[in-house]
Structure 1
Amino acid sequence: MPDPTIRYLIIPGWHGSAPEHWQSHWQRVLPNSSRVEQVDWQYPQQASWVEQLQRGIAEDSRPVVLITHSLGCVTVAHWAAQAPKQLLSKVLGALLVAPADVERTNCPELLRNFAPIPTAKLPFPSQLIGSDNDSAATPERALQLAHDWGSEVSILRGVGHINVSSGHNRWEQGFGHLYRLQHQLEQNSQQRA
């Protein structure tokens, strides 16, 4: 079940998330959700994307769960590597879906300014969801990113890049991964209490 006391911040990848994308559907159905709007979705610049993400986190005082896709995952890793501690502490956790490997040989030139991908462990819990047939990242690369970032990982079979092109318009099954992350956050909170 979505938690109405948590703010959900949706972080799309390259080109944004169209109205039929699962991130847009989730934004419509999750309480307290909003999205990071980038200045330029077509020609992404790492510094600008990180700055917009920081604005999205800073503009609301409530704690937040990040819901990312593709280049949005890499943006979170870059942000976490240099973010101020008071903003890092607002992030309860992150769902990292279909991260884009911007270091792969066939990566579009426009995305290469996001390389190298930070390898530091994320300072908040995370779940990484990859695919065994994603053209943006091999399952081995997704596993490596999960290891680097300290994320729990699931590699799904035959789901492509988990976007509209691969048939993931509503992606209701994805809520299971979000619930698992929230359960992990609740357990962490109880252990600290």
Structure 2
Amino acid sequence: MPSDSIRYLIVPGWHNSGEDHWQTHWQAVLPNSARVEQADWASPQRHAWVAQLDAAIRASDTPAVLIAHSLGCVAVAHWAATAPTAIARRVLGALLVAPADVERPNCPPALAGFAPIPQQPLPFPTHLVGSDNDPAASAARALELARGWGSEAGILTGAGHINAKAGFNRWEQGFAYLYRLQSRLALRAA
């Protein structure tokens, strides 16, 4: 799949992805990439976040691959649940990393507006990567979300929330998941 025929939309989670986060590194090295910016990273509002994602997808007719982390994964699920079919077709697929379980008992109150999490299959291929010690979603919950969304899934060992705090700064190994997703997309297009 030629890189000029797609664009990458980076969809960060709560508090954005800082300069040491793998999403920031990926945005710098992936061609045709852009970050979905939010007006308020500290007090996320579901409708505003979904609207920003929708605007970013509609901004170009070039098909997009979404690269979401944490609350960004949940925003993608909410967007997909309400997006018109013609607009949803602009998304080729999504890599969903460390989805935040906004329904968990110890969920920060700032994220409560993103519950409940849509459980229907997403209208494009997805690959979900979770961790067996992620404080934002247990491995079992990540796999449950993957089943609901129709995602291929992988669970990393001891990777925490797969963010800079857990040591995932450049996360070069993560490109293997993106490559796997893009290979599926290429097969689907053939």
> By the TM > 0.5 criterion, same fold?
yes
Q: Could you say what secondary structure the match of 1:94 adopts?
A: strand
Q: Which residue of 2 aligns with 1:10?
A: 10
Query: Letter of the aligned partner of 1:27 in structure 2?
Result: Q
- Structure 2 CA distance, aligned partners of 1:123 and 1:136? 25
Partner of 1:151: 151
Q: Post-superposition shift, 1:6?
A: 1.3
The 4+ residue runs of structure 1 with deviation greater than 6 A are: none
Shift of 1:98: 0.2
Contact 2:3 2:32 in 1 (8 A): no
Counterpart of 1:55 in structure 2 is: 55
| TM-score, normalisation: structure 1 | 0.97
Q: Supply the AA of the counterpart residue of 1:128.
A: L
Structure 1: which 5+ runs fail to align?
A: none
Alignment of 1:58-77 (within 5 A): 58-77=58-77
Partners of 1:33 and 1:12 in 2: CA distance:
13
Q: Which residue of 1 aligns with 2:109?
A: 109
Structure 2: 5+ residue runs without aligned partners?
none
Question: What letter is aligned with 2:93?
Answer: G
1:189 aligns with 2:189: yes
TM-score, L = length of structure 2: 0.98
Aligned to 2:99: 99
- Please tell me whether residue 167 in structure 1 is matched to residue 167 in structure 2: yes
Q: CA RMSD in A?
A: 1.0
The alignment-based identity, stated in percent, is 63
- Contact 2:122–2:149, Cα closer than 8 Å, also in 1: yes
Alpha-carbon distance change, 173 to 47 in structure 1, aligned in 2, over 3 angstroms: same
The aligned length equals 190
Aligned to 2:34: 34
